[in-house]
Structure formats: structure tokens, C-alpha cells
Amino acid sequence: MTTALITGASAGIGRELSRLFAADGHDLLLVARRLPELTALCAELRERHGVQARALACDLSSPSDLEGLLAQLSGLELAFLVNNAGFGSVGAFAQLAPEREAAMVELNVTALVRLTAAVLPGMLARGRGRVLNIGSTAGFQPGPYMATYYATKAFVNSFSEALAYEVRGSGVSVTVSCPGPTHTEFGAISGVDKTRLFSMGAVPAAGVARAAYRAMQHGEPMAVHGFLNWLIVQVVSLSPRGAVRAITALLNRPPALPAKS
């Protein structure tokens, strides 16, 4: 049996990825803040697929919780690491709670880096293993009214691509999946479900998870989910930065904020 560690597993993309790993016979270490949801998911996966599934309640935005998780991972041989946990916020940066913005960086960036650093050397020593990071199409441009979130995803996208190059030929792969707006709890919690961007066509989490899982299994460095998202990424790369900022601001602006002239 091989074991996968999946963060943010209690809902959304993380939960769907957990089901895919279990269906392929992999044991699971599932991490999230909410123990009841994790426990229920573990029971479902054990009953349906006969795998071992363990729930680890942990707030990865908390440095002490992160250190505790890293201590538990010491000595474990993980075949897969899925860095899925993350959150966002919507609004003008100066009006948002600075503590929450800093916690977003701790979760979306710091925890991802620390977990990857804890797992990747062992994978390289064994000559096998796969890392899947959940980035975003948000990481390809600046994001007014979601400034911190877009910046964290730019880090995830870039960091993952660089690692994918570094480990080539080693038997280990690093993949970053870059979905666009997705129907998960993220939308309601962050407020992004009220924006024009979300209303343009958020997609189900199950499809995003399947595409990410497939890309990871194939060892692809980067996968952008859906043709429309792929096309948008290409257009962004060719467009003037001023236009990209203005259009992204229009799509992200919360309804309560007046448009700037």
C-alpha cells in the first residue's frame, strides 16, 4: 500500500481528491481544521474502498499546528503529497483584516513550502513520489480586490514549476493544477461567489479534482483546467498589464464597492 497526505481534505477539491486516491487503493492521511467532517470522510473511504484513512485535525495557518503536523510526519514514507488547503478574501486590501491576510500567506504559501520540504527529500532518496499543488488561474495576473490571494497563488504556480524542473529524471514529479472559479465552500467563505468572475461560470469540484489527479499521475508540471481557462491564461500573457489589472479588478470587485472611473 502507498500513502497520500492531502491537506484541506474536509470539503471541495480536497475531498474529491481523497475519493480518487482511495478508489485507486491508496491509504490516506487527511488534514483539515474540522475533525467531524474528516472523520466522516475517513469512514466513507474505509467502507467503500477498504483503505486505511486517518484524520488529522490541524489549522495549517497556525505555526504551532504546522510544527505539530511536521513532527507527526517524521519518519513516514509518503508516496503522494497534495497541498490543497487554502483560503481567500475579497475586498480592498486596506479595508481587510491584516491578521487574516497574514494567515492566508501562512496557509497558502508557508505551509505548502514546509510540507514540501518535509516530504520531497525522502521521495528523491527513494526515487519515486508525486507532489500535487493546487494553484490557480489567479496566479497568472495581479488581482485587485483579491490582492493577497492572487499573490499567494502566483507563488504556488511559480514554485511548483521550478521544482518540477529540478526533480526531472529523478522518478519524482511535481505538478501544479490551476483551476479557475470552482463550486466549493471557498466561494461562500471568501465572498468570491458574489463577484462577476464567479458568475461567469464556476465549475464543479469533482471535475477539477479528476483533471488534477490525472495530470499528477502523468507527471505534468502544470495543468490548467478547462479550455476557457487555458485560453484566458494565453490572452493574459499577451495583453498589456494595465488592461489585465483593470479587467481583473472589474471581475473581482465586490458589489458593495463603487466602480472607479
Give the mean model confidence (pLDDT) for residues 154-175: 98
The C-alpha cell of 217 is what? 499521475
Does the residue 72 lie in any domain?
A: yes
- Catalytic residue, chosen from 145, 150, 153, 213, is 153
The string of pLDDT tens digits covering residues 173-226 is 999 999 987 666 555 555 566 655 655 666 788 999 999 999 999 999 999 988
CA distance 167 to 172: 6
pLDDT at 258: 47
Please give the tally of structural domains in the chain: 1
pLDDT at 250: 86
Does the residue 140 lie in any domain?
A: yes
Predicted structure pTM score? 0.90
Kindly indicate the confidence band of residue 261, based on its pLDDT and cuts at 50, 70 and 90: very low
Give the mean model confidence (pLDDT) for residues 90-115: 97
CB 61 within 8 A of CB 114: no
The string of pLDDT tens digits covering residues 29-85 is 999 999 999 999 999 999 999 999 999 999 999 999 999 999 999 889 999 999 999
Does the residue 259 lie in any domain?
A: no
CB 183 within 8 A of CB 205: yes
The C-alpha cell of 128 is what? 519515486
- The winner for highest mean pLDDT among 10-14, 163-167, 189-193, 228-232 is 163-167
CB 211 within 8 A of CB 223: yes
Q: Is 165 a catalytic residue?
A: no
**CATH number reported for the structural domain that contains residue 90 in this entry:** 3.40.50.720
Give the mean model confidence (pLDDT) for residues 13-20: 97
Q: Which residues make beta-bridge pairs with 172?
A: 129
Q: Is 149 a catalytic residue?
A: yes
- Catalytic residue, chosen from 149, 150, 194, 213, is 149
Does the residue 261 lie in any domain?
A: no
Does the residue 257 lie in any domain?
A: no
Range of the domain at 90: 3-252
Does the residue 131 lie in any domain?
A: yes
Give the mean model confidence (pLDDT) for residues 128-145: 96
Does the residue 260 lie in any domain?
A: no
The C-alpha cell of 140 is what? 497568472
